Structure 1
Amino acid sequence: MILYSGHEEEDAHHTEGVAFMLSHEAQNALISWEAAGPRIIYASFKTKKENIKLNIIQCYAPTNDKDEQTKEDFYNKLQTLCDKLKEKDMTILMGDLNAKIGSDNSGYEEVMGRQGLGKMNENGEMLADFCAFNNMIIGGSMFPHRRIHKATWVSPDHRTENQIDHICIGRKFRRSMHDVRVQRGADAASDHHLVLARMKMKLKKREVKKSTRTQYNVDFLKDRLTTETFRLTVRNKYEALQDLLDEGNMDIDTQWQQIKKMWTSTCSEVLGKKKYQQKDWISADTLNKVQVRKEKKGAINNSRTRAAKATAQEEYTEANRAVKNSVKTDKANFIEDLAKEAEDASAQGNMKQLYEITRKLAGKYKRTDRPIKDKNGNVLTSDEDQLKRWREHFEELLSRPPPQNPPDITPAEEVLQINCERPSKAEIEKAIHHMKRGKASGPDKIPAEAIKADIETSTEILHDLLGKIWEQEEIPTEWKEGYLVKLPKKGDMQDCNNYRGIMLLSVPGKVLNRVILDILKTGVDAKLRDHQAGFRKDRSCIDQIATLRIIVEQSMEWDSSLYINCVDYEKAFDSLDRDTLWKLLQHYGIPNKLISLIRNSYEDMTCRVIHAGQLTDSFMGKTGVRQGCLLSPFLFLLAIDWIMKKTTKYRRNGIQWTPWSQLEDLDFADDLALLSHSHQQMQEKTEQLNTVSTQLGLNINRSKTRIMKANTKNNNPITMKGEPLEETDSFTYLGSTINKHGGTAEDVKARIQKARVAFIMLRTIWRAKQIKTNTKLRIFNSNVKAVLLYGSETWRSTQKTLKRIQTFINKCLRRILHLKWTDKISNTTLWKITKQLPIETEIKKRKWRWIGHTLRKPPNTITRQAITWNPPGKRRRGRPRNTWQRDTEKETKEMGYTRREMEKMATDRKRWRSLVDGLCSQRANRHK
């Protein structure tokens, strides 16, 4: 049997057309088929797997030289067809796609392998985007074969071969595809070879292990009555405990165990233990309705008469309807809450949290309980062997040998004037308010929600305990224990080195750390170098990115030589030597009381790794700072600050920044960018940094450290311990791509790719009918657009880059609104419907908002000085390139102001906000 779809017109040319040729077995399994024009045909078949159909789409895509509209029309029709298919069914897309996908799968790792042929063309990119959005993979790119078994088309002169015919399958059924290759022997009098896929329809089941760790239903505290019951129970138990505490004969560990028992028993009684098959977003009200429905079902089964059974059935139907409506409401509220979190993260520029929220919205999580390899590369399959390997890995990581040549660090002559009296109730209450909800509890099983349920009582409980800890300078033993959660990075997921650990610690212990941190931050911050922007108030990644980009652009314009060393440390947080760290605390003038408290929290610290819901045996953590502890970033900044002061002291190896000073480096935590004008200066600085770093236990990762040179003819490599460091024309710094020529086109391309990945990850959100369009647009703005425009404050805008960004946004918005090519909605109308500004306006708004923030800083800060910085040198002949500074000067003149007037205006926040809004309004009007 042949199923055919072609031109409908009788006098149409004999072009295009697609078809199926069915065997007898396929005929018997055929359910339905649909002709979707001369380029697409679809058929559905039964499979031996119950309730799962096989959907096959055969298509013929326009060639690569066709106009953009023709290609868009084809993929829009294809997308419309795919939207009708159910995700639980197996879907195969195949045919002549006229798409070269190539062997480079950068940015499309989840769509294709590296076994493709040639180099990706425009059609190949459109196919890859389509597969990514529909969660499919390109089969021919996954299986290694000889070139003759990859090429699907041969030119008429038999000289050119390309791989343009493909078979794609849904990712869920990836294991059902065993091979894809060309069968050259099939004779069909065509310039195309037959492409064959070897399939197995049977699906593989995967067992999901349940975690053995105790968690409580903290979401029940969203219910007002449950919260009130919880508060009352805690107060009653604390009043009973108060009599024992008043006797004053308890040591700290005993007192803590009594307090812990009070909280955990209340959680168990009022909230109950969490069932892991339950969704996080299901409310207590819904679970109550489920219980009511269960009782109604029992009433049906126990009915003895038809009338009673009919009545019970009606009640059950009503209860079931109530459950469904309640679940829909919960899901909508959950999405709304995540959208609000994403908006907050976007406003704060917290890209890490934004990425986590995107994964949560997409329901996409990387498995961390997969089989791993031992040191010899052998795969470990049993849980027992895997637990031993994880313990071995982290014990070695956190128990590194001390530095061979520790530094001689002298204490400060004067101690900082910091209040070291026992914490007040106001300080403890403030610390509790700062605790974040929704975070996993530590070994004591006490969630933050339990402490925040009644902040007044919790403050009263912790005030006495923390006061005793403060006076005796002793930390409860359980607060020194941590559970390590493995977080995957890039690379082979069977290699333990491609994971990093985050430690789950006691929440009451975090309250103490917050109190200490709040005391230290103000006093110590003034002692830190201005070069460091990590974990400090009123400083951001954008400040450092903008400064570095301006340095590169101005160096190119003034023909000034520039060397940049982007330094990467190996396991920095886990390697810091603690004995040296305690000396550093004294060196910065921190009082002994606070040093003793911090030091005691690290003494005899123990760790256990969580794997497959189980815990490894306990082991000691002897080096590094605890990732997950509130104090760790602060402690690490002291180490980096001392290293850079020691590296640059008595030396002038930086770039000329002002007539009387040099800029040696730009830092954000351990992301360092060393700056120099000459090869000798950079060589000396690199060697000195390496020497000083090793004294504190930190090792520079030679394989990831990059050197970038500009305006220099010196080809000699920068070396470290005699080994040359890799040179590059561009590198990624704090998430932005820095190019030696100072351009932003490469960064824009990278941001579009990252935003595309985020948009595709959220495809279930865009397709969901129960989610409001306004909510979808809020998620798009915070989770996709924020990723797209990260660092845009530092871009020098061109019409070409603006057009690329605007095209991507328009395409996303049309998919969110499910607009088809036949709807004929203009871009202006689209922006009005979705309440979007033209991208040029959006970028200007972000840029000038950041400029205002920068101009309000003191005149001697590095970021403010960068806005007007020029290096020593001479401009090259010819028309100067466009730069960020030149763009800014031009826009300032267009607004009718001078630079000094702008600086004065920035001090008035309200006036500056009006200025930015007015500028954006004028530019928005130009697009209408």
Structure 2
Amino acid sequence: MSLKLEIEGVMLNVVSGYAPQVGCELKEKERFWSELDEVMESIPTGERVVIGADFNGHVGEGNTGDEEVMGKFGVKERNLEGQMVVDFAKRMDMAVVNTYFQKREEHRVTYKSGGRRTQVDYILCRRGNLKEISDCKVVVGESVARQHRMVVCRITLMVCKTKRSKKEIEKKTKWWKLKKEECCEEFRQKLRQALGGKVVLPDDWETSAEVIRETGRKVLGVSSGRRKEDKETWWWNEEVQHSIQRKMLAKKKWDMDRTEENRQEYKELQCRVKREVSKAKQKAYDELYTRLDTREGEKDLYRLARQRDRDGKDVQQVRVIKDRDGRVLTSEESVQRRWKEYFEELMNEENERKKRVEGVNSVEQKVDKIRKGEVRKALKWMKSGKAVGPDDIPVEVWKCLGEAAVEFLASLFNRVLESERMPEEWRRSVLVPIFKNKGDVQSCSNYRGIKLMSHTMKLWERVVEARLRKVVEICEQQYGFMPRKSTRDAIFALRILMEKYRDGQRELHCVFVDLEKTYDRVPREELWYCMRKSGVAEKYVRVVQDMYERSRTVVRCAVGQTEEFNVEVGLHQGSALSPFLFAIVMDQLSEEVRQESPWTMMFADDIVICSESREQVEENLERWRFALERRGMKVSRSKTEYMCVNEREGSGTVRLEGEEVKKVQEFKYLGSTVQSNGECGKEVKKRVQAGWNGWRKVSGVLCDHKISARIMGKVYRTVVRPAMLYGLETVSLRKRQESELEVAELKMLRFSLGVTRLDRIRNEYIRGTAHVGRLGSKLGRPV
């Protein structure tokens, strides 16, 4: 296990380990040292390393012949395992720190059992950093385990204190207050006053936006801009504050005049403060749980669950990042430059493609004006409570203003449609890197960039999208972001196809195609071409082109915001219109190569190609590669995988441009695991694991016994159960597998309610208390 610490610009790697015992086989010992070598080789040579481990070996007293890696103050004689420690130190240019400091034997012995006293726990560091260690010894009387004793090491790092730049704190308007009707009404009145008694907003966006922002700041207030700390004293009140002040004055009085009267007064106030604190805590918790048990407190309930889940995590933000060569950057300026460099390169670099020489006829036709009904429908689709874009006007403002907002937006959108120019403020966005929860947390490539865009622009995108969907007909093979289609439909179609071939004892060959950085690398010229070829009116093509023209963004990371840069390639991440635009591109690029469903299925950029023969599926894969890569898309050679159902011996594998495609026995398709033998045992186990993962995320609420069983059951039904049952309606489960799911669910419910099997409470009572029905009813089985 290793830990990397950044201390004022100095990188310190702390590695812990446990070596096999003396009686273990030599192969096992060699495997341990081989793995430790790999850990050391992964650490850059310029970084400090401290290894603390139970090596189960004796390096012995004296250092004749090994002076460069150890001192002479060991314990007893060296054995084979101790020689392995010394050899490792020589190999990695390390030093055995324990042996350099002359101590009494009591401060050198790390292991005591019966009459045996020896040294098996060591601390190692790089030889070049040995001068930074001033002491190393055993703490007498402190036992880490029954026989092992604590070894401490004092390290003095010579560092230059990093001067952190004073960031300009961005203060935010408290728009969340608009969910209260009284705040909403006051906002409407003040806005009306700011507009001179009129309800109608000014025609131009800049004036209206500024009036709305200014009114919001005055009516709703502005936050400090700093992140709110999670205080342990959130229950604090004025009575507690007053009692503590009196206690402090009494303490000062007693310190100045040590009389029995002053002491008694202080002790009485001390007891009173404890009672006041206990009462305040109880009252605050009672109010919290009462509010959570109401309809209005439901959002607070899920927010509390997320907060308690975050509190259980060690690291929530990473302030250091690696450059393209793997070196760790620690200064704020270098970290910001790296984020800007990574995303600027990602969003402005096209894959190689063949330029189109053929043209396409544009559809020149008059388009209707934007109607109020279209705006109302778009507003209804927009969710509240989302992060606001750079213009600082959330969708809650338009919902609060009601019909006046609908009228203003319809007029604004018609002007944008007519002029084909949207407000400059909408072209700016903020890019937030979100960790994918896999891979190196310090590598930029393991983050997904999500753009925070103007909510009003998103409304405009939804209006345009609704019109495009009426004009463009997407092929039936596309399941992603299509009405009345979902991931479950695609999963079900693939499973049915596999079952038919398994029952008929015939081979079915499937290739799961993965595209590299799809959204970020879509050539915009291809997008305009595909829109025109799909029959989109030229007016709408120019409107969409305007959405992407002169678009700029900044990256908001843990150390601040980067400089602004242009985005000239790809689709907007986090845009309301992007998924449908991508569906248009994929529809046109695959027109000549796709087969009917289920032989070809697409869910956005997730493609599966099926065929009855390996040669045919290989040919189809090559046709797909040619069709996509000549237009700027890139098929991933490392992530594209091949699976054969009912495989016969020697059926071989599939090649892509002469390169073997990875052959697998199972594949996670749209979140559901499909197996080459047609079974679903592994998928059931993964669903159980997904259920436990979801349960752990909200266990801060589920295991809080002050929350009512009804509310606990509701959280379970809305968070845990969907994760556990995802995709299982497409699977034919055996009774044993259903039982496996039932057992896991009842374990979670019993944990949540605080009961065990020893309490001898029937399962029906557990489900009834938590208001959670049998799983069979959700899987479409009779119960």
Return the TM-score normalized by structure 2. 0.73
Of the candidates 16, 33, 58, which is equivalent to residue 143 of structure 1? Answer: 16
Displacement of 1:270 in angstroms is: 1.3
Of the candidates 706, 718, 726, which is equivalent to residue 782 of structure 1? Answer: 718
Of the candidates 355, 367, 375, which is equivalent to residue 428 of structure 1? Answer: 375
Aligned to 2:630: 695
Deviation string, structure 1 residues 660-715 (Cα, Å, up to 9, x no partner): x7743111111111111112211111111111112332111111111001234454
Displacement of 1:716 in angstroms is: 3.5
Distance of 1:279 and 1:359 partners within structure 2: 15
- Map 1:664-743 onto structure 2 (within 5 A): 664-710=599-645, 711-743=647-679
Say if 1:216 and 1:271, in contact at 8 Å, map to a contact too.
yes
Displacement of 1:826 in angstroms is: 2.4
Displacement of 1:413 in angstroms is: 8.1
2:349 is equivalent to residue 378 of structure 1: no
Say if 1:342 and 1:783, in contact at 8 Å, map to a contact too.
no
Aligned to 1:448: 395
For the structure 1 residues 361 and 696, does the alpha-carbon distance in structure 2 shift closer, same or farther, using more than 3 Å as the test?
farther
2:592 is equivalent to residue 646 of structure 1: yes
Of the candidates 542, 551, 555, which is equivalent to residue 488 of structure 2? Answer: 542
Q: Structure 1: state its 5+ residue gaps.
A: 1-111, 115-140, 164-176, 247-254, 304-309, 344-353, 649-653, 655-660, 849-918, 924-928
Distance of 1:209 and 1:790 partners within structure 2: 47
Letter in structure 1 aligned against 2:666: S
Distance of 1:621 and 1:441 partners within structure 2: 20
Aligned to 1:901: none
Distance of 2:276 and 2:147 partners within structure 1: 54
Aligned to 1:905: none
Distance of 2:244 and 2:190 partners within structure 1: 33
Distance of 1:645 and 1:208 partners within structure 2: 54
Distance of 2:283 and 2:419 partners within structure 1: 56
Distance of 1:821 and 1:244 partners within structure 2: 65
Distance of 1:534 and 1:223 partners within structure 2: 36
Q: Structure 2: state its 5+ residue gaps.
A: 4-13, 32-49, 59-110, 121-145, 155-161, 250-267
Of the candidates 54, 65, 71, which is equivalent to residue 181 of structure 1? Answer: 54
Aligned to 1:910: none
Aligned to 2:706: 770
For the structure 1 residues 519 and 299, does the alpha-carbon distance in structure 2 shift closer, same or farther, using more than 3 Å as the test?
farther
2:448 is equivalent to residue 500 of structure 1: yes
Distance of 2:238 and 2:115 partners within structure 1: 66
Aligned to 1:570: 516
Say if 2:240 and 2:280, in contact at 8 Å, map to a contact too.
no
For the structure 1 residues 739 and 400, does the alpha-carbon distance in structure 2 shift closer, same or farther, using more than 3 Å as the test?
same
Distance of 1:160 and 1:469 partners within structure 2: 71
Distance of 1:559 and 1:671 partners within structure 2: 28
Aligned to 2:208: 259
2:371 is equivalent to residue 406 of structure 1: no
Distance of 1:178 and 1:331 partners within structure 2: 47
Say if 2:703 and 2:753, in contact at 8 Å, map to a contact too.
no
Say if 1:403 and 1:577, in contact at 8 Å, map to a contact too.
no
For the structure 1 residues 637 and 160, does the alpha-carbon distance in structure 2 shift closer, same or farther, using more than 3 Å as the test?
closer
2:545 is equivalent to residue 596 of structure 1: no
Deviation string, structure 1 residues 505-533 (Cα, Å, up to 9, x no partner): 11111111111112222332xx2111111
2:384 is equivalent to residue 397 of structure 1: no
Say if 2:710 and 2:769, in contact at 8 Å, map to a contact too.
no
Distance of 1:398 and 1:737 partners within structure 2: 32
Aligned to 1:227: 184
Of the candidates 214, 226, 230, which is equivalent to residue 171 of structure 2? Answer: 214
Say if 2:477 and 2:597, in contact at 8 Å, map to a contact too.
no
For the structure 1 residues 339 and 507, does the alpha-carbon distance in structure 2 shift closer, same or farther, using more than 3 Å as the test?
same
Of the candidates 668, 687, 690, which is equivalent to residue 754 of structure 1? Answer: 690
Deviation string, structure 1 residues 41-100 (Cα, Å, up to 9, x no partner): xxxxxxxxxxxxxxxxxxxxxxxxxxxxxxxxxxxxxxxxxxxxxxxxxxxxxxxxxxxx
Aligned to 1:898: none
Say if 2:174 and 2:220, in contact at 8 Å, map to a contact too.
yes
| Aligned partner of residue 363 in structure 1, secondary structure | helix
Distance of 2:703 and 2:430 partners within structure 1: 38
Displacement of 1:457 in angstroms is: 2.6
Letter in structure 1 aligned against 2:20: K
For the structure 1 residues 618 and 338, does the alpha-carbon distance in structure 2 shift closer, same or farther, using more than 3 Å as the test?
farther
For the structure 1 residues 444 and 298, does the alpha-carbon distance in structure 2 shift closer, same or farther, using more than 3 Å as the test?
farther
- Map 1:312-331 onto structure 2 (within 5 A): 325=283, 329=287
2:219 is equivalent to residue 270 of structure 1: yes
For the structure 1 residues 270 and 815, does the alpha-carbon distance in structure 2 shift closer, same or farther, using more than 3 Å as the test?
same
Of the candidates 562, 573, 578, which is equivalent to residue 616 of structure 1? Answer: 562
For the structure 1 residues 745 and 189, does the alpha-carbon distance in structure 2 shift closer, same or farther, using more than 3 Å as the test?
farther
For the structure 1 residues 223 and 836, does the alpha-carbon distance in structure 2 shift closer, same or farther, using more than 3 Å as the test?
closer
Distance of 1:779 and 1:261 partners within structure 2: 41
Displacement of 1:198 in angstroms is: 4.9
| Aligned partner of residue 564 in structure 1, secondary structure | strand
Distance of 1:810 and 1:217 partners within structure 2: 42
For the structure 1 residues 467 and 201, does the alpha-carbon distance in structure 2 shift closer, same or farther, using more than 3 Å as the test?
farther
- Map 1:87-166 onto structure 2 (within 5 A): 143-144=16-17, 149-151=19-21
Distance of 1:410 and 1:190 partners within structure 2: 91
| Aligned partner of residue 699 in structure 1, secondary structure | coil
Of the candidates 753, 769, 772, which is equivalent to residue 836 of structure 1? Answer: 772
Distance of 2:27 and 2:632 partners within structure 1: 59
Displacement of 1:743 in angstroms is: 0.6
| Aligned partner of residue 570 in structure 1, secondary structure | coil
| Aligned partner of residue 535 in structure 1, secondary structure | coil
- Map 1:318-397 onto structure 2 (within 5 A): 325=283, 329=287, 333=291, 359=306, 362-363=309-310, 367-397=316-346
For the structure 1 residues 427 and 557, does the alpha-carbon distance in structure 2 shift closer, same or farther, using more than 3 Å as the test?
same
Letter in structure 2 aligned against 1:636: F
RMSD (CA atoms):
4.5
Aligned to 1:67: none
**Aligned positions, number:** 647
Letter in structure 2 aligned against 1:612: A
Aligned to 1:629: 575
Letter in structure 2 aligned against 1:442: G
Letter in structure 1 aligned against 2:183: T
| 784-793 vs 608-617, greater mean Cα deviation | 608-617
Letter in structure 1 aligned against 2:16: F
Say if 2:431 and 2:451, in contact at 8 Å, map to a contact too.
yes
Displacement of 1:827 in angstroms is: 2.3
Identical aligned residues as a percent: 26
Displacement of 1:837 in angstroms is: 3.2
Aligned to 1:476: 423
Deviation string, structure 1 residues 449-472 (Cα, Å, up to 9, x no partner): 233222223223323322211111
Displacement of 1:585 in angstroms is: 0.6
Deviation string, structure 1 residues 782-805 (Cα, Å, up to 9, x no partner): 211211111110222113212221
Distance of 2:191 and 2:282 partners within structure 1: 34
Deviation string, structure 1 residues 141-166 (Cα, Å, up to 9, x no partner): 98345xxx2349879xx9999x9xxx
For the structure 1 residues 151 and 397, does the alpha-carbon distance in structure 2 shift closer, same or farther, using more than 3 Å as the test?
same
Return the TM-score normalized by structure 1. 0.62
Distance of 1:500 and 1:523 partners within structure 2: 32
Say if 1:553 and 1:743, in contact at 8 Å, map to a contact too.
no
| Aligned partner of residue 500 in structure 1, secondary structure | strand
Deviation string, structure 1 residues 208-228 (Cα, Å, up to 9, x no partner): 998833322233223332221
| Aligned partner of residue 590 in structure 2, secondary structure | helix
